[in-house]
Structure formats: structure tokens, C-alpha cells
Amino acid sequence: MKARPRRVQTGARTADLFAAPAPTTAPLTTVPPLVAPAIVVPPPRPAIAPVSSQRRRSLWYAVVFAGTPDLAALSLHAQQFTSFVSHEAPNALLLEIRGSLRLFGSFLRLRELLDARWQALGLQTQSAIAPSTLAALWSARLGEDLCSDEATTLNGRLLQMPLICTAWDAARLQTLRSMGIQRLGDLLRLPRAGLARRLGVQAVRDLDVALGKQPEARRAFVPRERFRERLDFETEIEHVACLERALEPVLERCALFLRRRQAGVQSLALRLRHRVRTPTVVRLGYASVTSEPRRLVEVLSQRLGRLELPAAVRSIELHSGTLQPLSAVSLDAFGGGGRDTAVQLIERLRARLGEQAVYGVTTQSEHRPEAAWCRVQQLSLAAPSASDPQPPEIMPRPVWLLDEPVLLSPREIGELRLESGAGPRDPERIETGWWDGKGVARDYYRIRPARGAQLWVFQERHTKSWFLHGMFA
Amino acid sequence: MPRESSSIADLLADARVWKLKDASASHRPSSSRPVWSTGKSALDARLPGGGWPTASLVEVLIDVNGLGEVQLFLPALVESQRRTDGDVPWLVWIGPPHEPYAPALAQQGIELGRLLVVRPPSATEALWAAEQALRSGVCAAVLLWLKGTDDRWLRRLKLAAEEGGALGVLFRPERHRFESSPASLRLLMTRGEQQPRLELLKVQGGRPGLVDLGVS
């Protein structure tokens, strides 16, 4: 038993390895002769001497979960330990951990941490560490307590493993079983070319990979760029308070998800599903890009506080909007303390009053008074620039502008004494906008009626009618 | 202003501590909290400290828009944004009767990037928003237009203003004139013959009465 691995270790070529006499029991005669030997088996690399290139080689941690777990979600946990996580459908993950060894001390320690993480998540797992992907994976599938960085022990253990660990398809395994082959060691004793013909090139390649003769090209898991999580409740939830409590861990996970990507969100969508009704969609908006769990939760509770559930909730689903990179401004780690930041204030107001109800105003370079300003929903939280170039306004402008100019009746015109000779003087003439069809030609006056407010009125120059447009408050 | 320290000066500066001698003196000692000039010397002279008090609630009773009621506060708002060394504080206008016209405010010197307009759906929400803004500590002043509210809410606003160190200005209709109010300053603005008439109904540490604004 010990002789076999030594062959591998001493750098024997596969040809030697497979040169062992095939078992007489193998029903080779049942295989029909091939018409054309079209299958090209790539020559395996010479077995790498374990000592010389130990640093270069990768080291793999494989974990197999019971049931059908959400691999993407679990990969996020795994990515805290290594940058390379690969999925093995349907229920396993492969982690390259050589690069993380220095940080975590040893692979034994790392394995402890990883296993503890799965346990904390309430998952049943089997894990193994080996210098090759498939060796680790296969050991983990079998539940073998393989935890080795050495090819010697690895190969010794591999040869003992039953074929079922390879998770090859049933037909292939059946063929092998009928050949009387139970263990990987038996398989390796067969001639390589024949093996490739019977089982396919892939199987031979798998064996090479498992033995560490050939590296395997694996695709690293790239996390998706949206956060989405669904919670189904066993009993329907009728109270908003319960909903909030159920959502808090989800938001914390969302925050973790964002943190790990150095990203943040500006809005989250929450979908509450009911039994019969159409789902209720709640939008959580944030004043700035954030990944702060505290802020995420605060807006949620404000928003839920004024939510009336039309029906009991069966499940909830949280979607993040597009992820946006966090900037230094949006990291309010040093701001606040006990006190609020402006961002938090705006968020809280928006969460309760609605997104549209909280806005800023800014000027626009435009001569028509009604177009010279606009609302700003996206409030800039950076310090305002020292010198904002303001258009030099000669004439004063009123603090209040009416939404629409109000046409003054003849009686009002009389009361305001606009027509008489003692009427207002020195109008400000605004005549512009002829190019876009909304042209204006107005004479603006600032007048103060005998008893009352100071008004901003204008006379349409073509129609000669008078309008009230604002008030100097 | 650090609220933790408990020196006698800080205690005296607290608006809740009412000093007897203030009632007779027309000016507060210089050690009290800063005030913001109203921009009108006649009015400054009548106010304790010579301007709008910070960290307190001011109530303006007014029925008609456009009597220059915002103009009373604009110089103070500009000053409050300019005077700080650190980040420019925010101004929050809650439920204004019309759209605040950005060019006019910019003309007066308001930092528009730090002005927040809030349109709450109801009076309760408006009061809630005002309380949040006053208490937050990031706002220099909060202007609130309301049709009416009760005394209890005003008390909360006053406490929030003191806690956040902000100036709270509440505009209400004149019919609330004879209700009790915790505001440290109450003003009544009505139409006058030539110009609006301004009356101080209540001045903590000053004397109420008519103010002659002079020709504006």
C-alpha cells in the first residue's frame, strides 16, 4: 500500500504508473474496438517534486455542505478568508488558501476558523485541505479528515478512496463497478490510454488534477453586484414592529455585503409579499451613498413607522439598488459621535416625509424669473465652494415666487394704482426666450400697495395685462 | 457650545435660567450666547443682546405674506452661515407658503447649498421635522410656517432648539396671539399705513412694545 504513493512521489511518469498489470478480472473484452483513436490524451506533466516547489503550489480548502445551500451567499463568508473562492455545483466550495496562510498562521488554524464559521451559520459541513483541488474536494465529499499540505500523505490517502467521491456520472461509475474497480488506487493501475477511451478524457484529467500532476483551471467566484435577500416567514407577520426586527439582520448582512465591496447604496427596495394582494413595495432612500448599518436601520425604522400593512406579510425581500463606490465624503466614521450629521437628518426627514418632500434649491443662469431656479433632490454634502459665481443681479428679487403668475383683475389693478400716472416707475425689462417658444416680454415692477405686502408684478408687453409674480417677504 | 461643562457662565447662558437683573437691563452681559443682528438697528436696539437670540424659539404672528417677515431674519441667516469656522451650518425651511426663490436668496448671500426646503404633508409632520432639525445640531436656523399648533408642541420645539443650539422661527396666524407660548420672543406683524407694523408681544429680558422700523 505504501509502495504506490512512493512511485508518484519519486517523479515516475504516468506511463510507469499505469504500467502495472491490469487486474485479470477486468472485463476488457466487452469494450468494442474503436474505429478511430480520435481521443488525444494530453501527456501529463512530470510529477512535481514536493519539496522544491512547495511554495509555488496552491493549497486548497474544500467544503461540502449538506443539502442544497446558497453557494453565492456562502462564498461571501468564504471571501473573508481568501480572495479566491470557486463554486463546485451543487453543494461545495473550493478556497485557495495558500495566499492566506501568513495572515492566519497555519492552515490548521484557518480550517478551524472556516469550520467554525459554517457551524455558526448552522450548516452541516465536511471539509478537507489538500494541495490539489480535486483531492480536497473528493476528501471532503467522503468526510475524510484530510488536512495535509504534502503530496505524499495526500496520494496515499487518495488511492484508498472509493470511486463514489469523484461524483462522476452514474454510467461511468457503473462501468467501473462492473470492472471490479472500487477505489481510486485500482483505477490508477489501469492503462491510461484505455482509461481515457472508456471513461473519457475528462476522467483521466480529473485523476491527474487530483494527484497534483496537472493544475486545474477554476473560475473564481465573482460576487454579484446587487444585494438581494428573501426571507419567508413560517407564520404571517401582522405587526410592523415584528417586521422591523426580522429585517434588521438582513440589513446588517446587506451592510456587510457593501462593506466588503467598498461600495454603498443610495436606495434599497423592500418587497413585502402578502397572501392574496399584490406585494407592497417600500423604498428606502438615503441622502448619500452609504454602507453604515446604523443608517440603513434607522431609515428602515422611520419608513416602517408610518407604513400601514394592507395585509399580513408572508415573506420579505430586500433588493439593493445599483452599488456605488464609497467616497471619502460618504464615510462618516469620524463625524457625529452622539450627534447627528446632516446626512442623517436629511435621511430621517426623507424616510418619513417622502423623497420629494425634502429638497434644496439652486439658481440657474437664466433670465426668465420662473426658470432661474430649480429644485435639487441630490443634495451635495461636500463643503460649499467658497465663491459661488452668482450672476450679477441688479434688481432685487422677491423671496417668494408664485408657482404661476396670477392675472390681476381690473379692480386689483385699480387698487394697486398701476395704470395711473403716479404708478410705479423704472421697470426691469425682461425680454428673452424667443428661441424656445416660451418667450417672455415683460416689464417688472416692485410696488407696495397702501396697506399690505410688497409685491413683484409685471406687465405683459404685448397684451398689456398685469400679473402678480412674487412677494418681497 | 459645549453643554457638558457646568461653569457658572454656561449655566447663566442657558436660556432656561432666567436672571432677575436681565428684566431691567436692556442689554445682556457680553458673556451670554451670541446673537445675530436683525439688520435693522431699531429692532436690534430693542432685543436683549442686540439681535436674534440663538438656541431659542422665536414666534412671529402674521396673517399676510410679504410684509417683510423673512427679511427680518435673512441677515441673521446669512450671518449664521458665515460666522462658523468649520462646516457651514444648514438652514431648514419647513412648509414655506410659496417657493423660496433661489435667486433672491443668493442675492442676499444665503449659501444655497446648505438650504433645505421641507414640505411636510401635515402640521404634525411639520412639527416633527422641525424638532428633528432643531435638535440635530447641524442647523443654524429652522424656519417653520404653521397654521396652528398647541402649547405642548411649542415647548418641545423650544427644548429642541436649546439642545441643538439653533434658532427656531415659527410663523403662525395672528389668532394665536392670546394663547400662552413658551417662545422667548413673540412678534406681531400686521399691515401698517405706510409700512408694516411690528410689535414685540413678549421679550425675555427686554421690554415689549411697538418697534419703529423706519423707512425700508
pLDDT for B144 equals 93
Residue A217 is assigned to a structural domain of this protein: no
How far is residue A130's CA from residue A148's CA, in Å, rounded to a whole number?
5
- Mutation pick from B91, B99, B101 vs chain A, by most beta carbons of A within 10 Å, is B101
Helices B123-136 and A342-353: crossing angle, nearest 10°? Answer: 170
pLDDT at A122 over 60: yes
**Residue from the list B64, B125, B136 with its beta carbon closest to the beta carbon of A353:** B125
Least confident of A31-45, A279-293, A456-470: A31-45
Contact B113 A471 (CB under 8 A): no
Please report, to the nearest 10 degrees, the dihedral formed by the alpha carbons of residues A148, A152, A155, A161 taken in order.
-60
Residues A189 and A267 in one domain: no
Cell 444655497, residue located: B112
Angle at A303 between CA A298 and CA A304, to 5 degrees: 100
pLDDT at A337 over 60: no
Residues A41 and A99 in one domain: yes
Residues in chain B with CB shorter than 8 Å from the CB of A448 are: 195
Number of domains in chain A: 3
How far is residue A472's CA from residue B43's CA, in Å, rounded to a whole number?
19
Say whether residue B160 is in contact with chain A using an 8 A CB cutoff.
Answer: no
* Cα dihedral A7, A41, A53, A129 sign: negative
Percentage of residues in chain A with pLDDT exceeding 90?
A: 5
Residues A234 and A203 in one domain: no
Pick the residue with more confidence: A463 or A449? A463
b/e code A22-50 from CB counts within 10 Å (16+ = b): eeeebeeeeeeeeeeeeeebeebeebbeb
pLDDT at A338 over 70: no
Pick the residue with more confidence: B30 or A434? A434
pLDDT for B145 equals 92
pLDDT for B117 equals 92
Side chain identity at residue B88, one-letter code:
V
Residues in chain A with CB shorter than 8 Å from the CB of B93 are: none
Q: What is the pLDDT of residues B3-29, one digit of tens each?
A: 555 677 777 777 677 665 544 444 444
Contact A473 B87 (CB under 8 A): no
- Mutation pick from A350, A361, A404 vs chain B, by most beta carbons of B within 10 Å, is A361
ipTM: 0.78
Residues in chain A with CB shorter than 8 Å from the CB of B113 are: 360, 362, 379-380, 384, 388
Residue A383 is assigned to a structural domain of this protein: no
Q: Which residue of A has its CA nearest to B196?
A: A452
Which domain-ending residue is among A143, A178, A210? A210
pLDDT for A147 equals 82
Residues A236 and A191 in one domain: no
Contact B87 A383 (CB under 8 A): yes
Residue A389 is assigned to a structural domain of this protein: no
Q: What is the pLDDT of residues A379-410, one digit of tens each?
A: 766 655 544 555 555 677 888 888 888 888 88
Residues A156 and A287 in one domain: no
Residue A203 is assigned to a structural domain of this protein: yes
Residues A82 and A192 in one domain: yes
Q: Give A430's strand partners.
A: A442
Q: Is A91 exposed, middle or buried (0-12, 13-18, 19+ CB in 10 A)?
A: middle
Name residues whose C-beta falls within 8 Å of residue A396's C-beta, 6 or more positions apart in sequence: A446, A472, B104, B107
Least confident of A16-25, A160-169, A383-392, B15-24: A16-25
Residue A354 Rama label (left phi>0; alpha psi -120 to 50; beta): left
Tell me which residues of chain B have a pLDDT lower than 70: 1-6, 15, 18-33, 84-86, 214-216
Q: What is the pLDDT of residues A339-376, one digit of tens each?
A: 567 887 888 888 888 888 888 888 888 788 888 888 88
pLDDT for A37 equals 40
Least confident of A75-84, A138-147, A285-294, A422-431: A422-431
| Distinct helix (H) and strand (E) counts, chain A | 15, 16
Say whether residue B104 is in contact with chain A using an 8 A CB cutoff.
Answer: yes
Q: What is the pLDDT of residues A213-247, one digit of tens each?
A: 888 888 888 766 788 889 898 888 888 888 888 88
β-pairing, B167-172 vs A454-460, is unpaired
Least confident of A53-57, A257-261, A431-435, B148-152: A53-57
Contact A471 B107 (CB under 8 A): no
Q: What is the pLDDT of residues A197-212, one digit of tens each?
A: 888 888 888 888 888 8
Residues A193 and A159 in one domain: yes
Q: What is the pLDDT of residues B40-57, one digit of tens each?
A: 888 888 888 888 888 889
How far is residue A82's CA from residue A56's CA, in Å, rounded to a whole number?
17
Residue A382 is assigned to a structural domain of this protein: no
pLDDT for A47 equals 39
Residues A195 and A256 in one domain: no
Residues A204 and A248 in one domain: no
Average pLDDT over residues A311-325: 86
Contact B112 A473 (CB under 8 A): no
Residue A368 is assigned to a structural domain of this protein: no
Write phi, then psi, for A324 (nearest 5 degrees): -125, 145
Pick the residue with more confidence: A161 or B12? A161
Count CB pairs under 8 A between chains A and B: 159
Q: Find the domain containing A457 and state its range.
A: 400-472
pLDDT for B20 equals 59
pLDDT at A129 over 70: yes
Average pLDDT over residues A121-131: 89
CATH 3.40.50.300 fits domain B34-211: yes
Say whether residue B26 is in contact with chain A using an 8 A CB cutoff.
Answer: no
Residues A340 and A291 in one domain: yes
Name residues whose C-beta falls within 8 Å of residue A279's C-beta, 6 or more positions apart in sequence: A271, A272, A273
DSSP string across A234-284: EEEE--HHHHHHHHHHHHHHHHHHHHHTTEEEEEEEEEEEESSSPPEEEEE
Residues A253 and A124 in one domain: no
